[in-house]
Amino acid sequence: MNENWRKHRGAFASLLGPGLAMLAFAIVVPMALMLALSFSEQRGLTQVAFTGTLASYARALEPLYLGVVAQSVWISLATTIATLAIAYPVALAIALAPPKRRDLLLLLVVLPFWTNLLVRTYALIIVLSPTGLLYTPVAVVLSLVYVSLPFAVLPLYAQLERLDRRLLEASRDLGASAWTTFRRVMLPLTAPGLAAAAVLVFVPTLGSFLQSDLLGGAGTQMIGNVIERQFKSANDWPFGSALSFLLVYATAGVVALASLARAKRR
Amino acid sequence: MRSLLSPKITRRAFTGGLTAAVSLPALVGCGDKKSQIRVYNWDTYIGPTTLEDFTKATGTEVRYDLFADNAELFAKLREGNPGYDVIVPSNDTVERMIRADMLVALDRTKIPNFANLEPAFQDAAFDKGRKYTMPYFWGTVGIGYRKSKVPTPPTSWASIFDNPSMKGRISVLGEPAQLVGIAAKYLGYSINVRDPEQIAAAEKLLIKAKPTFLTIAGDDGQDRLLRGEVDLCMEHSGDILQVMKEDPDLGFALPKEGGLLWQDCLAIPKGAPNVAAAHDFINFILRPDVHAAIAATIRYPLPNAAAKKLMSADYLNDSAIYPPADALAKSETQTYPGEATQRLYDETLTRLRAA
């Protein structure tokens, strides 16, 4: 392709403009405000003063909150592993389906998005109630897997659809078993899709609070619940912001480490 | 996938969508001219025809939004009023909002129905001289229970806090100040517990009782009681009374130590677009027939003497609605604790859940 943005600055600017404006308005500005809040002090009921204090971060690093973060990480890891284990075969089945069927199957994958998340979570309360799983961590993981599945199936499908089938055939022709072909050929070739899916599932799950609130029971608490309370009943926005940003730093760190590891391998 | 993401857009459909997008603001503009108010209230907290009746009586349209708890209401208004004319905060949140200068002083001359209120409700500790709020309904937080599973009606908060045989069969409110306050009340302290040592004692009690708690959650324990997931729950009186209508096996009791007494109020937040119509709405609610019709639906106690005269004996004599005088006398109203104590309450809840 000969076209590039240097040749058509005006066209590119007008195409990218709305997206960039939306990003600035909905992400950069609020995040900057939250970052400032996390270094601020609560003065009275609705007043906050920016003082550059680290008090909120110091409090966020107390063992009490690190323990809550640890529980959130466990729940998110369990969710990610279960989601990938279910999504991979589904994505493979769709990629191997006749082209005409694929559209319908992909539509079915995104169908849950047509209903509101809250409604779907309440529906799970009704489904889980007779099983005895309701108000346990298992219920939280189940609902998070359910919510996350489309985010894993779609990138995995994109990867599997592009996979050169001749490589699989060659592997089988050369005497490798189906399992070996999967493990030594298919899995390494689709690793980028798996990594993308893992990040897309793990990151939003780590910050979730709705599922643990509604399905979690007395003992389940994710860091999202603590953050939510800081913005509501505790009315401590600086502390809530510091906790949120701690999650941002941690997630950015994990993603950076993952891409570093990948770069090293190449 | 491609055909999914790029459906063919016909020109007609496109211009149709465009017209709709352009005319939408115009329609909204029309509504403004016709006088409209936005009311922000709790769920299941109004009569079946109250809003229509108001529109019929005054010509002012009502846009009605719901909030789940005081924290949500406060958070929504903290950074400025997003356009609400009438809100329904509870006593301690009223106090908080007055201190933060978030409420409009009411013009009493526009609320003649104030005279209908019982003398006890014409003033309030959290709003001296009733400058900013009018009482909407009041009630208690006590114990809802399933009669077939709890043979003798609970008489003490011990049923909630010291009942090891009910493992995973109890639900408590997750609002930190309420939960800690009621636990303190059971220990013989005030619901408005401020002393860190007493708060720590309440925490110890709660952590010990935790195995009996199925959920520490929002204001929906009545649903769990109704579905049979729990047999006992700490809840607002009216919430339990509403599910008691659906299931006669349920009951409500105000413990002998006293419960939490609350009062929800009608108020106008600063920045309300239609202050005049908001006064009309508040005055309309305090009209005896209107207030009585709401009470008949939601089954909370009325602060309105003239409205009470219109109520059935069945409502007025129900001890679950109007609790026995001695337990009521020992009950306490929550006051605003200040930000430092609020933090202690919140940490208590975080530790309880993590325990």
B343 contacts A220? CB cut-off 8 A: no
Cα–Cα distance for residue pair B147/A80, rounded to 1 Å: 43
> What domain count does chain A have?
2
User: CA-to-CA distance for B204 and B352, rounded, in angstroms?
Assistant: 9
- A45 shares its domain with A122: no
Distance from CA of residue A222 to its chain's centroid? 15
The CA-atom distances, in angstroms, between A58 and each of A64, A221, B326 are 12, 21, 47
Question: What's B28-138+262-316's CATH class?
Answer: alpha beta
Given CB atoms, is A59 within the 8 Å cutoff of chain B? Answer: no
What is the distance between the alpha carbons of residues B245 and B257, in angstroms, rounded to a whole number? 27
Same domain for A205 and A134, yes or no, is yes
Question: Do the Cβ atoms of A129 and B227 come within 8 Å?
Answer: yes
Contacts of B342 (CB under 8 A, 6+ apart): A233, A234, A235, A236, B176, B177
Q: How far is A112 from chain B (nearest CA, A)?
A: 16
Compute CA distances B80 → A25, B83, B134, B226, B315, whole Å.
Answer: 19, 9, 22, 38, 40
Q: What is the pLDDT of residues B97-152, one digit of tens each?
A: 999 999 999 999 999 999 999 998 999 989 999 999 999 999 999 999 999 999 88
Could you tell me how many residues make up chain A? 266
Both A19 and A101 in one domain: the answer is no
- The kind and range of the H/E element at B195 are none
- What is the percentage of chain B residues whose pLDDT exceeds 90? 79
Rounded to the nearest angstrom, the minimum Cα separation between A221 and chain B is 6
In this structure, are A103 and A189 located in the same domain?
yes
Asked if A120 and A42 sit in the same domain, the reply is no
Report which of B134, B138, B137 is spatially closest to residue B278, judged by C-alpha positions: B134
Q: Provide the terminal-to-terminal Cα distance of chain A, rounded to the nearest Å.
A: 27
Does residue A1 lie within any of the structural domains?
Answer: no
| Distance in angstroms (rounded) separating the CA atoms of residues A143 and A130 | 16
CATH superfamily for B140-261+324-354 is Periplasmic binding protein-like II (3.40.190.10)
Q: Is B334 annotated to bind ligand? A: yes
Tokens of A220: 């389940």
**pLDDT per residue over B28-85, tens digit each?**
444 445 799 999 999 889 999 999 999 999 999 999 999 988 989 999 999 899 999 9
Percent helix / strand / coil, chain A, rounded to 5:
80, 5, 20
Question: Do A38 and A137 have their domain in common?
Answer: no
Residue B20 in this model has a pLDDT that exceeds 50? no
pLDDT at A179: 94
Looking at residues B211-231, what average pLDDT do you find? 91
Which of A28, A49, A31, A32 is CA-nearest to residue A40? Answer: A49
Question: Is B43 in the A-facing interface, judged by CB distances under 8 Å?
Answer: no
- Nearest CA of chain A to the CA of B284: how many Å? 31
Asked if the C-beta of B208 comes within 8 angstroms of chain A's C-beta atoms, the answer is no
How far is the C-alpha of A172 from the C-alpha of A178, rounded, in Å?
7
Tell me the per-residue pLDDT of B176-201, one tens digit each, with 9 for 90 and over: 999 999 999 999 999 999 999 999 99
Q: Are residues A84 and A46 in the same domain?
A: no
- Do residue A235 and residue B218 have CB atoms under 8 angstroms apart? no
The residue with greater pLDDT, B21 or B299, is B299
Calculate how close chain B gets to A154, using CA atoms only, in Å: 10
The answer to the question of residue A2 being in a domain is: no
Q: Could you tell me the CATH number of the domain that includes residue A176?
A: 1.10.3720.10
Q: Which of A103, A226, A232 sits opposite B75 (nearest CB)?
A: A232
CA proximity to B99, closest of B110, B89, B84: B89
One fold for both B28-138+262-316 and B140-261+324-354? yes
**B1 to A45: CB separation less than 8 angstroms, yes or no:** no
Q: Quick one: A241 and A176 in the same domain?
A: yes
Question: Over 90: is that where the pLDDT of B320 sits?
Answer: no
Q: Which residues of A touch B4 (CB under 8 A)?
A: 103, 106-107
pLDDT at B13 over 50: no
A42 and A149 belong to one structural domain: no
Q: Inter-chain contact A219–B353, Cβ cutoff 8 Å? A: yes
Separation between Cα atoms, residue B166 and residue B229, nearest integer Å: 12
B175 touches chain A (CB under 8 A): yes
The verdict on A219 touching B (C-beta cutoff 8 Å) is yes
Q: Average pLDDT in the B287-295 region?
A: 96
Alpha-carbon gap, residue B265 to B134, rounded angstroms = 5
- The DSSP-derived string for A135-200 is TSHHHHHHHHHHHHHHHHHHHHHHHHHHS-HHHHHHHHHTT--HHHHIIIIIHHHTHHHHHHHHHH
Residue A110's domain spans which residues? Answer: 59-265
pLDDT at B171 over 80: yes
Helix (H, G, I), strand (E, B) or coil at B135: strand
What's the CA gap between B111 and B118, in Å, rounded? 15
Residues on chain B touching A107 (C-beta within 8 angstroms): 4
pLDDT in 10s for each residue of chain A, 266 residues: 566 777 788 888 888 889 999 999 999 999 999 999 999 998 888 889 999 999 999 999 999 999 999 999 999 999 999 999 999 999 999 999 998 999 999 999 999 888 999 999 999 998 998 888 999 999 999 999 999 999 999 999 999 999 999 999 999 999 999 999 999 999 999 998 999 999 999 999 999 999 999 999 998 999 999 999 999 888 899 999 999 999 898 888 888 887 888 787 76
The answer to whether the CB atoms of A226 and B72 lie below 8 A apart is: no
A219 and B217 within 8 Å at the Cβ level: the answer is no
Among candidate residues B246, B59, B293, the one with its CA nearest the CA of residue B146: B246
Q: For position A256, what pLDDT does the model report?
A: 87
Tens-place pLDDT, residues B159-170: 999 999 999 999
The yes-or-no verdict on residue B19 having pLDDT over 90 is no
The mean pLDDT of chain B is 89
- Domain identity same for A18 and A107: no
User: What span, in angstroms and rounded, lies between the C-alpha atoms of A134 and A141?
Assistant: 11
Domain positions in chain B:
28-138+262-316, 140-261+324-354
Nearest chain B Cα distance for residue A106, angstroms: 7
Same domain, A149 and A45: no
Q: Is A233–B1 a contact, with Cβ atoms under 8 angstroms apart? A: no
Confidence at residue B33, expressed as pLDDT on a 0 to 100 scale: 57
The answer to whether A231 faces chain B, any CB pair under 8 Å, is yes
Residues A44 and A153 in one domain: no
